[in-house]
Amino acid sequence: MRNDLENLVTRARAARQNAYAPYSRYAVGAAVLAKSGKIYTGCNIENAAYPSGLCAERVAIFKAVSEGEREFTALAVVTANAGAMCGACRQVLSEFAADDAVIVLAPARGKRRKRVTMKRMLLDRFGAMHLRSKR
């Protein structure tokens, strides 16, 4: 798993180079590891109409889902300062990742990383099971 995580961070760093962030200047890259073993990458894409932009994490996840993936075992996110994922990205990832899925937050330069599980990243999460419950 360690090599997989290193590879994910490397791929997320490369994806970060494609970020389109002319407004915030906060470039983000992400790489998600599907249960199939395939890796999908994404970068943040901003827009002058701010709500129209999309985070790197969701770009990577949506790319993977559009290719037929439904389960993810790990995600790496690279920012200038190893910043945390936003709530929307956490919720979207939780749709496709088990509680033990690993999330690595890494800086663009350096080795200091944060590593957490999906369960820890989004405690008491809302999911499909809530929609199936009796009303």
Sheet-wide strand order for 72-79: 39-43, 29-34, 72-79, 97-107, 114-117
Measured in degrees and rounded to the nearest 5, phi and psi for residue 45 equal -135, 110
Beta bridge partners of 1: none
Assess whether 57 carries a catalytic annotation: yes
Which of 57, 67, 69, 71 is labelled catalytic?
57
Give the Cα-Cα-Cα angle 132, 98, 4 (nearest 5 degrees): 155
Give the Cα-Cα-Cα angle 115, 24, 112 (nearest 5 degrees): 25
Beta bridge partners of 104: 76, 115
**Catalytic residue numbers?**
57
